[in-house]
Chain A
Amino acid sequence: MTQKLFKHILLADDDLDDCEFFSDVFKTNFPDVKLTVSNDGKVLMNLLEGPPAAQADMIFLDLNMPVLSGPQCLEKIRTSLELNKHIVVIFSTSSSPSDIQKMYSLGANYFITKPAEYNDLSKLINKAMSLVSQTDIKQPSFENFYIKL
């Protein structure tokens, strides 16, 4: 199995604390991968739609964001011919089945609920990265969509 090589990851989250944790974990675990953080959906979309068009390998996307929400961003990405190949992992406070179901049907690749433990965050990000490196752009079956520890 060919392992996907990550060069550039995007994170869109309006919660500054969460962004900080994520960055910490990410830099510790993947020091060679570039991480770009956007604090709302509009900034993320501007970044993706360029110029210069940022070629990202993977996007971690929060749901509740001002200006453009996570679901709105995902919809834009999935309906855009240029962007629809992007891998999108939902990164949200929510663990509600209706949110998970909705994001699956909107075409997200995986779903992570933000944990309350620093170490768990590290594990979840690692798991997401390794899963994506196997499945790539392909959406997994619904049973495997929600990443648990």
Chain B
Amino acid sequence: MMELPDSVREIVLRNVIDTAPFPIGVYTGHKMKIVLANQCMIKTYGKGPNVIGTNYTEILPELENQKIFDQLREVLHTGKPYEAKNARVDIVVDGVLKPHYFNYNFTPIFGTQGEVYGVMNTAAEVTELNVARQQTIEIEKKLRLAIESSQLGTFEIDINKGIIAGSKRFINFFNLEKREFTLITLVNFIHEDDRALWLDAIKGVSDSGDFNCELRMIISKKLHWMRFSGTLSESDNKENTLVGIAQDITEQKKNAEELMQLVEQRTLELKRSNDDLKQFGHVISHDLKEPVRKVLLFSNILKDDIGNGPTPKISQYAEKINKSAARLTEMIDSILNYSSAGSPDLNEVVDLNYIIESIREDLEIKILEKHAIIEHSKFPVIRGSKILFHQLFYNLIANSLKFSRENFDSYIKIDHSIDTESLKIRVADNGIGIAAENSEKIFNVFERLHSKDAYEGTGLGLALCKKIVERHGGKMINVESESTGAIFEITLPATILK
């Protein structure tokens, strides 16, 4: 300080101390009487303006158990300065006890004899800094937890040097040992077709500052889906460094794919039931309407004729009405069968041998009539719907009997073969057969190849058979026969075998 007249010097010093933007206080004696405290210190005490001349220990009783008085007395006693960094001091300010953080010093002031006259207390409050630090620690803790629980790997890429450093989990993704490796090492894991995606994503960083890509990677010969996302670091000492997270999303991808397949399957089922509905409309407008109209037609004639006296045709008309009504009933039954084939239990134990035998009993009269012989191989037990398999073979056998050749004994052969993928069942007969051009048409609902007066039937039989086979995951086709007769080939997946 420049040499100043004492009076001026005193005022300047007093002003400097009083207006200094950090707390300054001087305490003397064992009771630590406050002999000096600047504005800032008075504010820090938080006990009002009239503190000069009071004892430090009295106005700040809350410090009693915080070792501060001991530190002060130690300085008074020994004359050695005390320094605290970032120390927590709980002070009552405006009646509320709150933690504060200070860097503070207790500096001894010596008298003319070299004795310790008092202690100067200077402090810098660092509470805000501390709160911020604690928040940072808290945030980091949460972040760690998030990263840990979502099984994320973190990484940093030094784009200039082409080096990547990863967290333990990150390097574990790739079964690597070292935390740092070259980008080329990483790129080599990427599926060839996806490497362009990686390069594009890296290029994109310079435009948007963000990094995002989903890639297939081959790790230990296994395909993994990985998602990378990151952003350019904003730290001053990390120029052109990409920080980010990586996640193995193989499972998610698999689930999404399965979901997609499920949606497709459901859509297919919906479409199928929609088609059925359309066909049902067709059935109503053509096939069901026909016998109803016949009943009306003949009963009208009958009514008119009877009014005109007895008619020889009465029984003939009654017969026709009867036939139409029977046909209507039969069609309604088969439509119900067809529509209920939609959701049966497909997991029953089915013995086809037993089913064929019971059908043989059901059709006994027809079989005798046609002198039919039915042969079948010994079938393994399968899983499926009993009632549906009964319907399937019933329709096929009844069809063979119906479409037998005149003056020939009917012969029906049912055999099978098994390979790793499928169970193939062939139903062959020696009947009138099916022309090649009709081999697909026959499976349409209500498709009749013959006029119904020549061969009775609803036109639903084979459509139902095909639907039953498809419900069991199989295919049914009509194969051209080398000799006469019809052959149906049913291919069921091998999973149907118990």
Q: Does A82 contact B (CB under 8 A)?
A: no
For B286, the chain A residues whose CB sits under 8 A away are: 63-64, 92-94
List residues of B (270-326) whose CB comes within 8 Å of A's CBs.
Answer: 281, 285-287, 289-290, 293-294, 296-297, 300-301, 304, 320
What 7 pairs between A and B have smallest CB-CB spacing?
A116-B296, A14-B451, A96-B285, A94-B285, A66-B448, A93-B290, A93-B289
Residues A14 and B293 in contact, CB atoms below 8 Å apart: no
CB within 8 Å: A-B pair count:
53
Query: With the chains together, A106 CA to B236 CA distance in Å?
Result: 79
Nearest B-chain residue to A121, judged by Cβ? B297
For A15, the chain B residues whose CB sits under 8 A away are: 290, 451-453
For B448, the chain A residues whose CB sits under 8 A away are: 64, 66
Q: Does B20 contact A (CB under 8 A)?
A: no
Closest Cβ–Cβ distance, residue A129 to chain B (whole Å) = 21
For B294, the chain A residues whose CB sits under 8 A away are: 17
Query: With the chains together, A84 CA to B448 CA distance in Å?
Result: 27
Residues B293 and A116 in contact, CB atoms below 8 Å apart: yes
Q: Does B449 contact A (CB under 8 A)?
A: yes
For B300, the chain A residues whose CB sits under 8 A away are: 116-118
Number of B residues, CB within 8 Å of A: 21
For B293, the chain A residues whose CB sits under 8 A away are: 93, 114-116
For A67, the chain B residues whose CB sits under 8 A away are: 449
Q: Does B450 contact A (CB under 8 A)?
A: yes
B positions within 8 Å CB-CB of A: 281, 285-287, 289-290, 293-294, 296-297, 300-301, 304, 320, 446, 448-453
A positions within 8 Å CB-CB of B: 14-17, 21, 39-40, 63-67, 92-96, 99, 114-118
For B446, the chain A residues whose CB sits under 8 A away are: 64
Closest Cβ–Cβ distance, residue B436 to chain A (whole Å) = 14
Query: With the chains together, A114 CA to B294 CA distance in Å?
Result: 10
For A14, the chain B residues whose CB sits under 8 A away are: 451-453
Query: With the chains together, A116 CA to B286 CA distance in Å?
Result: 14
For A65, the chain B residues whose CB sits under 8 A away are: 451
Nearest B-chain residue to A95, judged by Cβ? B285
Nearest A-chain residue to B437, judged by Cβ? A67
A15-B453, A94-B285, A118-B304 are known; give 15 further A-B pairs, CB within 8 A.
A15-B452, A16-B451, A16-B453, A17-B320, A40-B451, A64-B286, A64-B290, A64-B446, A66-B451, A92-B286, A93-B290, A93-B293, A96-B281, A117-B296, A118-B297
Closest Cβ–Cβ distance, residue B458 to chain A (whole Å) = 13
Nearest B-chain residue to A97, judged by Cβ? B285
Query: With the chains together, A118 CA to B296 CA distance in Å?
Result: 10
Query: With the chains together, A125 CA to B133 CA distance in Å?
Result: 100
